[in-house]
Amino acid sequence: MLSQGRAEDLTGVSILVAGAGLAGLAAARDLARAGATVIVVEARPRVGGRVWTVREGFADNQYAEAGGEMIDEAHEAVKSLAEAYRLPLVRVLKSGFAFARPDSQGRVNIVKPAANRGWARMSRELQELIRLYRLAERRWDSPISAAIGRRSVAEWLNERGADDELRETAAGLRGFFLADPEELSLLALVDQYSSDSATGANRMYRIKGGNDRLPEAMAAELGDRVQLGTELMAISQRGRRVRVALRNKRLPSQIDVDYVVSALPAPLLRRVPITPALPTRQHEAIEQLEYGKGTKTLLQFPKRFWVSRLQPRAFGSAQPHGAVWDANEEQRGPSGILSLLAGGSASDQTAHIMAKQGIVGLARTLDWLGYRGEPITASTQVRWESDIWSRGGYAVFDASFDPALRPWLAQPNGRIFFAGEHTSLTWQGYMNGAVESGQRAAAELAATHRLSKE
């Protein structure tokens, strides 16, 4: 049964899905349930892609997310999928995000959310642009969007003569967008604030037992259809068939299938020769799309020194360590884990601190949160831009990206279909966007197959 509509019989149809992250697995699940013969190839030695739960090394059987983490209350696709596999969600960070901001003397203080500060103020400052964007029905191929998108957030701040507080808020959002104000398209900021789910405003959840339980559940259902350590090398459309070149442990092979679903991140898809070539605009969209720098650091301490009834457990920040939050408040044991997400240039700043002072030096930057030299029980750090199978945290729309190209990221081409968080219009950058994109690609494939028989 396909997720979006009536059942489609794909018995006898062969499909290769490239990528066993949430997008690829969601597509493969729907297609296999419709009767198709599905093969999922994944270059990594594990499923999940940028969803990665780390368990090894942590005391008290605790764990934390090195990749995709928060599930918003509006993320119906991923919530429904978790429910289908009987994976309960647990609410986290109930007090939302505060902000860690330096004062005039450079001391970092915790500033709680307020109607006249931080994200709420940013929303008010953007209201006129939001109004125009909504007149364009939030379409990226509108001249309105083009006019907004050609400026960076930093340029907009300069035009407005923004004060330090507003600039600090914008810089703090690099932990969300994985891009600094100087590179982030103003359109990306307007798009986020024009939605019904403002940054950090809704209830947030994680999957009990770890977010990786969801991709692992889908992979278990697919069984030996999933082939790990297998890289997509080339795609060639030939009439009503598609020839796919693969490589497993340096051993090349080729197979012919009826359709292909690519759920690869754009930096990897750029390296895959496709014959005949994609349309010029689609090629430009894939070539121009950037992925944000993002370093996720997980620090486990013997006790949760940051817990207080007087303050939240999550903080946006323009500091070198990035955003900070309690990574496992729902778990038992005296120990606790902090998650630090350094996006944009903060990723480089975190790397610099690590090179000079090590993990303890990075922990010392949390003195504003109450760190007083407590021992670090365990730590894990993942720099996603250095990960060869993702080349970044997630897609970033910078000021050089032509907004009219965005729909091309998801546009089917013949017998090739495209999925991944970068193809999602509503939930780009989220796990929900990955799941929805996979389900959408599967439904598009089924519809195309049906039309080909009429």
- Per-residue burial over 320-351, b if 16 or more Cβ lie within 10 Å, else e, is bbbbbbbbbbebeeebbbbbbbbbbbbbebbb
Q: Any idea which residue has 């309105």 for tokens?
A: 144
Does the residue 403 lie in any domain? no
Conformation bin of residue 286: beta by default, left when phi > 0, alpha when psi is -120 to 50: alpha
Q: What is the pLDDT of residue 216?
A: 98
Please tell me whether residues 280 and 415 are part of one structural domain. Answer: yes
Kindly report the pTM of this predicted structure: 0.95
Q: Is residue 326 part of a domain?
A: yes
Domain at 423, CATH number: 3.50.50.60
> Which residues on neighbouring strands pair with residue 42, listed in sequence order?
228
Residue 401 lies in a domain: no
Q: Are 242 and 259 in contact (CB under 8 A)?
A: yes
Alpha carbon distance 67, 390 (integer Å)? 11
d(CA 404, CA 413): 18
Same domain, 110 and 225: no
Considering the domain boundaries, does residue 168 fall inside one? yes
Two structure tokens written together for 154: 């930093």
Cα(178)–Cα(50) distance, rounded to whole angstroms? 14
Same domain, 206 and 319: yes
CB 49 within 8 A of CB 390: yes
Q: Are residues 32 and 180 in the same domain?
A: no
* Position 327 in a domain: yes
Instruction: State the CATH number of the domain containing residue 121.
Output: 1.10.405
pLDDT of residue 201: 63
Residue-level pLDDT at 200: 54
Q: Structure tokens of 99?
A: 């902000």
Residue that is written with structure tokens 């494939």 in the block? 445
CA 348 – CA 321 distance, rounded (Å):
10
What is the distance of C-alpha 399 from the center of its chain?
20
Could you give the number of structural domains in the chain? Answer: 3
| Preceding omega of 143 cis (within 30 degrees of 0) | no
Task: Among 145, 163, 194, give the residue marking a domain's end.
Answer: 194
How many C-beta atoms lie closer than 10 Å to residue 297's C-beta? 24
Question: Can you read off the two tokens belonging to residue 245?
Answer: 């070149």
pLDDT on residue 197: 58
The whole-number mean pLDDT for each consecutive block of 10 residues of the chain, a chain of 454 residues, reads 61 98 98 98 98 97 98 97 98 93 89 76 96 98 97 98 94 96 98 74 92 98 98 96 96 98 98 98 98 98 90 93 97 97 98 98 97 97 98 98 98 98 97 98 98 88
Which residue is listed with tokens 């944000």? 292
In a domain, 399, yes or no: no
Containing H/E element for 287? helix 280-288
- Note whether residue 283 is domain-resident: yes
- 304 and 373 inside one domain: yes
pLDDT of residue 118: 83
d(CA 24, CA 49): 10
Last-in-domain residue among 386, 417, 434: 386
Half-sphere exposure in the Cβ direction for 73 (13 Å, CA): 14
Q: Which two tokens stand for residue 359?
A: 């993990």
* Domain residue limits at 315: 53-96+202-210+293-386
Q: Are the CB atoms for 403 and 141 separated by under 8 Å?
A: yes
Closest CA to 292 of 394, 438, 414: 394
**What are the tokens at 21?**
């992250």
Residue of 411, 13, 5, 67 whose CA lies nearest to 240: 13
| Whether residues 103 and 187 fall in one domain | yes
The whole-number pLDDT of residue 108 equals 92
For residues 344 and 361, state if they share a domain: yes
- Interstrand relation of 241-248 and 251-257 (parallel, antiparallel or unpaired): antiparallel
CATH number of residue 327's parent domain: 3.90.660.10
325 close to 408: Cβ distance less than 8 angstroms:
no
Q: Which of 332, 353, 386 is the last residue of a domain?
A: 386
**Residue 280 tokens, joined:** 């010029």
pLDDT for 103: 87
In this prediction, residue 123 carries a pLDDT of 93
Q: What is the tens place of the pLDDT at every residue in 370-427?
A: 999 999 999 999 999 999 999 999 999 999 999 999 999 999 999 999 999 999 999 9
In this structure, the answer to whether residues 134 and 86 fall within a common structural domain is no
Do 249 and 298 lie in one domain? The reply is no
Q: What angle do CA 453, 438, 85 make, to 5 degrees?
A: 115
Q: What is the C-alpha to C-alpha distance for residues 102 and 327, in angstroms, rounded to an integer?
A: 24
Length of the chain: 454
CB count, 10 Å around CB of 26? 29
Residues 110, 88 share a domain = no
Per-residue CA distances from 33 to 7, 9, 19, 161, 317 (Å)? 9, 9, 18, 56, 44
Looking at the structure, do residues 273 and 412 belong to the same domain, yes or no?
Answer: yes
Is the same domain home to 160 and 68?
no
**pLDDT at res. 199:** 54
Q: Examine residue 8 and state whether it is found in any structural domain, yes or no.
A: no
